[in-house]
Amino acid sequence: MRDLSMVCNPYNEDKVISACSIFGMMDVSGKPFSGEPVFRAMENMHDRGNGLGGGFAVYGIYPEFPDHYALHIMYTSQAARHETEQYLEPRFLVERSEEIPTRKTDGINNEPLVYRYFVLPKIPKQSEVTEEDFMVEQVLRVNAEIDGAFVFSSGKNMGVFKGVGFPEQIARYFRLEEYQGHIWTAHGRFPTNSQAWWGGAHPFCMLDWTVVHNGELSSYGANRAYLETIGYKCTMFTDTEVLTYAIDLILRREKLPPEIFARVISPPLWEEIDRMPEDERKLQTALRSVYGGLLMNGPFSIVVANGSQMIAVTDRIRLRPLTAATKDSTLYFSSEEASIRLVSLELDHVWTPMGGVPVIGKLGALPVPEQSTKRNYTTSTPVEVAR
């Protein structure tokens, strides 16, 4: 069998700085669209991956079940499926369960069983736990306690589809051309620090929140220790898992805005904080005190989404690439501008986000560019666009 790790890494380097590709596309009007431009954009960044992981998150794909949680679960055996379904039965009303449609695809091997369940939680009347916290607890328990089962998607009216393969292979395998959504995020993986397996591919998901990640977190141990003290179970031994749980904690449980999330994971240096105005200095000092264990060290760029927004942020000194762009009501994020240009040659705005500063698109609202250059590709002269 051909060694895929050598295809894009001919010198067998331990680290590949350009590795991994991320892409996000959102229509802020809420209009659903086919994933075809996303597939083309990812295929254009084929050389950033090595075939050991690819995946997509799509929002708005289950309008017939708007209030149900759609659990996507992969199994390594029928026994694991039966055990999981026995676990789900007393805890959920299962409206529908079915195998996720797939097709035989060249390059996709050793695939697990993949099923989806549209469920409503059965929360005991005397319980004070919220519906979302109940869901998180059940997802973490399945992943930690049932051998051979892994919940890889758990939100409402959305789904994650991922596995070991190039993104274009994963799209074909899961028949994603049959889906439409108003937000698509995508990832092509080049793993350097963790084993390539179906559950370790991106996007990572917890309820409605998903993340795709390019980079590595040297702070994984400290981040994991912090999260496990407040109830999260880290079972996948990958840095993107701790990013996902940090998102769940800060953005969902504590309902803090994305700007605060960015200041937690990618904060200013202390010498910068010392020069801030008093109110800003007090806020940043408090965040570092309360959430110090969630400071993410190392190079990274990420795209985060839920059903109403798409957010991109990098580490504070931009050690991983990220480009943002808009055209009409569409927002794009990508590891490469070329992939955005492939699907939309003319753009209203295109810019490189500042390190540690989130770019946020929401339903009904495009982000304001930090810096923007509108290039007319019939000439060689850039045309500056005012903010």
Longest dimension (CA), the chain: 69
Strand segments, DSSP code E, in 60-215 are 69-75, 92-99, 113-121, 149-153, 158-163, 180-181, 183-188, 204-206, 209-215
Taking 3-state DSSP, the helix, strand and coil percentages for the chain, each rounded to the nearest 5, stand at 30, 25, 45
Distance separating alpha carbons of residues 287 and 344, to the nearest angstrom: 39
Ramachandran category for residue 375: left, alpha or beta (phi over 0 → left; psi -120 to 50 → alpha): beta
Q: Kindly state the tokens that stand for 232.
A: 């999260």
8 catalytic residue (yes or no):
no
The DSSP call for residue 81 is: H
Closest CA to 21 of 219, 201, 259: 201
Catalytic-labelled residue, pool 8, 20, 205, 234: 20
Distance separating alpha carbons of residues 384 and 374, to the nearest angstrom: 6
Just list the catalytic residues.
20
